[in-house]
Chain A
Amino acid sequence: MAYSKQLIKHYEKPNNVGNFGTTAEVKERADIGVGVVGAPECGDVMQLQIKVDQSTGKIEDAKFKCFGCGSAIASSSVATEWIKGKTLDEAMEIKNTDIVEELALPPVKIHCSVLAEDSIKAAIKDYQKKNT
């Protein structure tokens, strides 16, 4: 199975790797939402953190960490790139199929894009929960 150029680019040089602090630190911050999806026993864990500009309601920055295959890492990279500068509602609109298309994911790797979509939604929900 050969991977697309886009996928290899995002795998070899992923964008926005990192976090805004330790698990304990980000938990205390109202401007940060954290989504952790997947499970080690399934071979994929994605952690997505979003930093929201609370005056504009836009995602000003996003960071990810990923335990998973090349497609999972590339999907996370694409997700963080796409959500930056978007409002929460706009970010909620991102579909896994968009990521599949962007990276030309083969059928067996579609679950990686689902995980990326889920991580965006989980991070937004976490932010909203902190700010209600």
Chain B
Amino acid sequence: MAKKIRKTRVEMPKQNPKGRIKNYNEVALGFSEEKAIEEAERCIQCPDPTCIKGCPVEINIKGFIKKIQEKDYEGALSVIRITNLLPGICGRVCPQEEQCEEVCIMGKRFEPVAIGRLERFVADFEVGQGKKPEIKLQPSTGKKVAVVGSGPAGLTVASELAQKGHKVVIFEALHKPGGVLIYGIPEFRLPKKVVEQEIENLKAIGVEIRLNHVIGKILTVNELLEDFDAVFLGLGAGLPAFMKIPGENLIGIYSANEFLTRINLMKAYLFPEYDTPIKVGKKVAVIGAGNVAMDAVRSSLRLGAEEAHIIYRRSRKEMPARLEEIENAEEEGVIFDLLVNPIEYIGDENGRVKAIKLIKMELGEPDDSGRRRPVPIKGSEYLFNVDTVVVAIGQKANPLVTSTTPDLQTNKWGNIKADEYGRTSKKGVFAGGDIVTGAATVILAMGAGRKSAVAIDEYLRTGKWK
């Protein structure tokens, strides 16, 4: 008879909250080999696994966990790499609890298998061994693909197509490749060396990366099509959204993009050793409750804020951030001010923000998103003193490429129209990730990249468009 199965998942060690808010090191420390095996043993190897369908890139989860059970970690990684080339990243930032783990059979009665933690373990194990992945490349097709943007969608497309024998050149606007993985997600959640490693792996299979190339400016999509057989646009979300309320341009009010870019890309936390400054003061308020908001509020603590608040107009239940991130924020002492919304910012004589006028909210009928609509409570306004505000309420589409490519159709929000394989209204041009869907997750962008890569490969081989 099989041995008794553990009902609860194996805890992954974390840095303790008091210590970790004083450094930028990764909070979650990952499984040891023993813990990984213990957790892998919880997988009952269902004959008809539901977890795989829950994964946007359909990793053979059952298969890779089986390999861990057999202590064949390289084998486990090979199984993952069939459909996902960025396991070190996905194991850390995927919302597994609403994907693979949500539908895990074990989860019906007990806690689901910690699939993300196991994925991370095998990726880290390889790096720890100092091994490079062995990736088989198909013979060269002589075809060239331009990938615009080096975030999760672009990296995925580049990787898939390079393996299929196509020459891939990535064009990145910033001075470092990785997109949101580099400028957006903080070191304490996704160490930059993990991203750098994945990018090195790409270069090793012949992918070329041209930095400082703002497509739409230095080259247009039409110009790219003169040199390349196909173009993939993985532009990302782009423009930060603001609430358009009075005082929003006061000094000390950052978009989350700016705040996180200063910290992650420009290393402002090391100012003045690094030249880019950032100011947080004692009391920080982050507007919004998504993953980006959690990244910002937790970063502010590491920059020395004594009090860091999340200001959110709905209730706890509606917060869009991953539960794990909310818990991490709470452990670190973040204060959640729920059912309140900013209506105005008040500045001092130098134009620096000093207070937010907040209004209390209550939940009314469900809105289009299915969540109960927050409604302001008349006369409930009050002032909330603050040194720094970070607005993390989402992003809009960046128009630099679409405005210079007139035959590329967009929807009313400026997002590029594309079918499920990323085919746009313009022959030879594909798009995927946030620029198509609006701001979403790393794994969804990678899923879109994977589907696009299939369609691009087909287009390059057959020349057939739709």
Q: Do A and B bind each other?
A: no
